[in-house]
């Protein structure tokens, strides 16, 4: 997720740059309008004698009139790109979601080209990690087969954990999660295994990922607080246990117990 945010920030900066005056003979023309953009469109802009090119992979339009485009970004060139010349230009970023309004000024359409399977790899991976139902719909993959394979890895991981083979169990849980990123039970179990190994930082990351998928997961919520406490982040752990004290009334006693423990630790600091 951190990497995704970095890419989005980079791309927003990349496309917000404004080109030279429209009077420039090399100025891209005609000007783009974000509401007209469609998959396969190749658009370019010029800044400081350097050309930048983008290929539109998909367009998401929302009821409020706003839209986002999923793009492939090419390396910059000294000459104005053409549909043919871009075939020889290296891809800089395979996928970036960008607010379509960034393309309203000083970007010009140079043509439209069919999107290849290779060019879609970044977009499909983005969907797999962020919108699995749409990923299935977009790729046409067999959801039942994906879930079957994911469950196989989950069961194997569980067995390995029972045998004390924790590193192997973590790897198998990872396989299950890679196949089905919404599998929060596998994410939780991998986190618990990390905790058994004393790797509370990795466990914390997994519990936070699990809660993004299943915000009502009590075990992940409580264990997140436990990891924070083990990592010496007493104030953050206290906030978790305090919230859990009222958020999960059926486990009030457990959260109260750990709330008292973390407060005692804070008094010793």
User: 264 pLDDT band (50/70/90 cuts)?
Assistant: confident
pLDDT at position 1, please? 36
CB < 8 Å & 24+ apart, contacts of 165-172: 166/193, 166/196, 166/197, 167/197, 169/193, 170/194
* 43 vs 53: CA distance, rounded Å: 6
pLDDT digits 0-9 by tens, 66-91:
889 999 999 999 999 999 999 999 99
* 52 vs 46: CA distance, rounded Å: 6
For the chain, domain boundaries: 2-139, 143-268
pLDDT digits 0-9 by tens, 94-140:
999 999 888 888 899 999 999 999 999 999 999 998 899 999 999 99
pLDDT at position 217, please? 96
Q: Which residue has the higher pLDDT, 21 or 234?
A: 234
* 135 vs 24: CA distance, rounded Å: 42
pLDDT digits 0-9 by tens, 232-247:
999 999 999 999 989 9
* 181 vs 161: CA distance, rounded Å: 20
42 strand-pairing partners: 55, 111
pLDDT at position 200, please? 98
* 7 vs 162: CA distance, rounded Å: 40
**What global pTM score does this model have?**
0.74
User: 269 pLDDT band (50/70/90 cuts)?
Assistant: low
* 49 vs 190: CA distance, rounded Å: 51
Of 3.40.50.2000, 1.25.40.10, 1.10.287.80, 1.10.3720.10, which CATH number belongs to 143-268?
Answer: 1.25.40.10
pLDDT digits 0-9 by tens, 49-66:
999 999 999 999 888 888
Q: Contact, 173 vs 189, CB < 8 A?
A: yes
Residue 11 has pLDDT above 60, yes or no: no
User: 32 pLDDT band (50/70/90 cuts)?
Assistant: low
What average pLDDT does the chain have? 88
Helix (H) or strand (E) holding 156: helix 143-162
């Amino acid at each position: 997720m951190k990497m995704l945010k970095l890419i989005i920030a980079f791309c927003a900066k990349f496309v917000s740059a404004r080109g030279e005056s429209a009077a420039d003979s090399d100025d891209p023309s005609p000007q783009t309008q974000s509401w007209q953009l469609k998959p396969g469109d190749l658009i370019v802009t010029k800044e400081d004698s350097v050309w930048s090119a983008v290929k539109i992979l998909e367009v998401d339009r929302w009821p409020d009139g706003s839209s986002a485009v999923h793009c492939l970004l090419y390396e910059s060139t000294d000459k104005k790109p053409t549909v043919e010349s871009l075939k020889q230009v290296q891809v800089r970023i395979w996928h970036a979601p960008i607010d379509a309004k960034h393309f309203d000024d000083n970007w010009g359409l140079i043509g439209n080209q069919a999107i290849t399977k290779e060019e879609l790899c970044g977009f499909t991976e983005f969907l797999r990690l962020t919108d699995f139902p749409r990923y299935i719909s977009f790729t046409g993959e067999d959801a039942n087969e994906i879930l079957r394979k994911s469950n196989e890895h989950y069961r194997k991981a569980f067995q390995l954990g029972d045998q004390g083979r924790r590193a192997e169990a973590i790897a198998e849980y990872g396989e299950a999660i890679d196949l089905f990123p919404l599998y929060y039970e596998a994410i939780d179990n991998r986190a618990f295994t990390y905790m058994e190994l004393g790797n509370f930082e990795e466990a914390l990351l997994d519990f936070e990922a699990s809660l993004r998928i299943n915000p009502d997961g009590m075990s992940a919520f409580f264990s997140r607080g436990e990891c924070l406490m083990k990592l010496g982040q007493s104030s953050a752990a206290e906030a978790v246990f305090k919230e859990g004290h009222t958020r999960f009334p059926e486990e009030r006693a457990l959260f109260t117990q750990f709330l008292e423990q973390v407060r005692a630790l804070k008094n010793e600091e």
